[in-house]
Amino acid sequence: MLSALFEKFRSPNKVYAPLDLPKDIAAHFCIDELPQDLHPVIQDKLNFLARFKNKPSLPEKFDAVLVIDMQKEFCKTGPIREAIFATRRGTIDTEETVKHTAPIIDQFRDANLPIYSIYFAEKPKHPFFIDFYGYKYRTGDTLVYKNENSAFKTPDNKFEQPLNDAGHKNLLIVGFNTCACVKSTVIDAQKAGFNTWLALDCTGNDNSGHDTYTQEELAGYRIQSLIAMKNGGTQVTTSAAVLRHIQSAL
């Protein structure tokens, strides 16, 4: 009974589109896992790749990964959280996205590549009190506080400066929410001259606004956000392609 209740809270009322990609594209971006075995949430996300005539390219080397708002407040699901918190925001989308994102963070650590742990809060916090979800902040990470959608908009962090000082130009973007903080951060990064890549299966939307918008409207907003980032110059990829790319350089 408890498992059924948990699944009820995890699953939004939505039918996800099955993967519909040319075989060569699907094989390239779903390495080590058969495309048809991917969770329906992930299959639906990857269908955006069909908008590209050619396989999106990857940089010779990623300089850093920006992990945006991967926090319990926005990602974690379950009936206990529903009972305690008035505004539960985690869904099957956020949970599956976290599962695909965590290995990328681990791979960046193994390759000694920089990780920017970006978190949303009303005011700066000590790392111990930040509700990171799916991964743990480590001392070597760069902690970035923000109180706006874009990590570049919070005056206190001057985010553009440390990126430039470190020579981090090729940025992989993962996290939440696609239609808000991710899109705003990506577009501001583009305007500031950074090269951006978005891992499609590593970004998603939480439950905020689901009582206001229909699932069809939310899906439309997600596509609009992805198109806006793509039109600004952002390349898209997947966790599998990124992992293979980094491993090949080790």
Summarize pLDDT for 199-234 with one digit per residue, the tens: 999 998 876 555 556 666 767 888 999 999 999 999
pLDDT tens string 20-62: 988 888 887 886 667 778 899 999 999 999 888 777 889 999 9
CB 184 within 8 A of CB 120: no
Mean pLDDT of 187-207: 93
In whole angstroms, give the CA distance from residue 221 to residue 180. Answer: 10
**CA dist 131 → 34, 43, 234, 246 (Å):** 33, 28, 29, 28
Q: Which one is predicted more confidently, 232 or 8?
A: 232
Using CA atoms, how far residue 123 sits from 85, 119, 213, in Å, is 20, 10, 29
Asked if 42 and 245 count as a contact pair (C-beta separation under 8 A), the reply is no
Residue 162 CA: distances (Å) to CA of 80, 96, 114, 173, 206: 39, 31, 12, 16, 29
- Give the pLDDT confidence score for residue 143 in this predicted structure: 95
Residues ≥6 apart with Cβ < 8 Å to 138: 109, 115
At residue 116, the pLDDT reads 98
User: CA 249 to CA 130: how far, in whole Å?
Assistant: 32
* Domains along the sequence of the chain with CATH: 61-249 (3.40.50.850)
For residues 175 and 168, what is the distance between their CA atoms, to the nearest angstrom?
19
Using one digit for the tens of pLDDT, what is the confidence trace for 51-108? 887 778 899 999 999 999 999 887 777 654 454 554 567 788 889 999 999 999 999 9
Higher pLDDT, 94 or 192: 192
Q: Does position 1 have pLDDT exceeding 70, yes or no?
A: no
Rounded Cα distance, 116 and 192, in Å:
17
Structure tokens at 204: 């998603």
Name the band, by pLDDT with cuts 50, 70 and 90, for residue 6. Answer: very low
pLDDT tens string 142-185? 999 999 999 999 988 889 999 999 999 999 999 999 999 999 99
